[in-house]
Amino acid sequence: MGFSYKPLWHLLIEKGMTKTQFRETLGIGTAQLAKMGKDEYVSMEVIDKICNYFRVQPNEVIEHKPDEESASE
């Protein structure tokens, strides 16, 4: 499965920020936002921008979801 951005969405709710406000404030494109919405990979540069803006660690933005195959080993 890879990564989930659930922690980021919770953070936005806590801050009272919409996804559009978030995207515009950080200067990220709609494509990156769409990828995060689908739990797809984005660049470390995007993760870095998010962490710097909110002054948080990456684990407060993303969480790792192990593959089903790895979990059964």
Residue 70 has pLDDT above 80, yes or no: no
> Is residue 27, in this structure, part of any structural domain at all?
yes
Q: What is the mean pLDDT of residues 7-21?
A: 96
Would 47 be classed as within a structural domain?
Answer: yes
Please give the tally of structural domains in the chain.
1
In terms of DSSP H, where are the helices of the chain?
Answer: 6-15, 19-26, 30-37, 44-54, 68-72
Residue 66 located in a structural domain? no
pLDDT band at residue 30, thresholds of 50, 70 and 90? very high
List all residues 6 or more positions away from 49 whose beta carbon is below 8 Å from its beta carbon: 26, 27, 28
Q: What is the CATH number of the domain that holds 40?
A: 1.10.260
Find the domain containing 25 and state its range.
2-56
pTM, two decimals, is 0.85
Position 35 in a domain: yes
Q: What is the model's pLDDT at position 66?
A: 86
CB neighbour list of residue 67: distance below 8 Å, 6 or more residues apart: 1
- Nearest-angstrom CA–CA distance, 20 and 44: 20
pLDDT value for 63: 95
